Structure 1
Amino acid sequence: MKSCLVVDDSKVIRKVARHILEGLDFAVAEACDGQEALDACHESVPDVVLLDWNMPVMSGMEFLQALNGLNLPNRPKIVFCTTENGIAHIRAAIDAGADEYVMKPFDRDTLEGKLQLVGVA
């Protein structure tokens, strides 16, 4: 079973993502900010991280930069999931190491398509 870490400061978004991902047979863990997500990756590296951009404590971009600094045996795929839709934001995320980008609000088909694109669905 594939695993996904959902990182978002919105409990509602985490709940919606969990529902979709569990329907796609993913084991789901949650984190409410980038620091909590980084701690979770130290314990168990997921196959994919669904990552919000704007969060307190540590933003999605800060998390991604910190993750890139870790010596992980298998780096998870990163799918940014955010309301930031400017081309500069998308380019910055991809340049920083994100594998894909999905806009909020998202539905099952959109998320499943992005997961297929990064090779985890």
Structure 2
Amino acid sequence: MSATVESGNATQPVDIATMRETAAMLLGPDDAPQALPPAPEQLDTLALALREHMQLLIPEVETAAAREAKDSTARYCALARVGEARRKLRLGNGCTPPTRVAVAQKFARCVNALCDHYENLSAEQH
């Protein structure tokens, strides 16, 4: 699924499939950690990409949630996830390799959840 997002004067695509693929590189089946973490340089690249995905998805999920009724469960859950995503964006990358992997996996789970809310809210509005 892909949509277009206005960002200032530029238009950026919301490429849910790519976001999910990036997250999957850090997560195994059922969002469990993979047996082997990526190499350190790949981990840094993935963590940065996931941060950027979250920054792109947060306003999109907020906008979609704002179109829902104020007492909507979908709105409440989406906005709660947005708050959690904002808190995770304040995390550092971690000092030790295991911590860096754990932080990147948190980002990956958060991206997956934001993608779910984006898709669910977009489907409800069509």
**TM-score of the pair, normalised by structure 2:** 0.30
Which one has the bigger helix percentage?
A: 2
Which has the higher relative contact order, 1 or 2, with Cα contacts under 8 A spaced 6 or more apart? Answer: 2
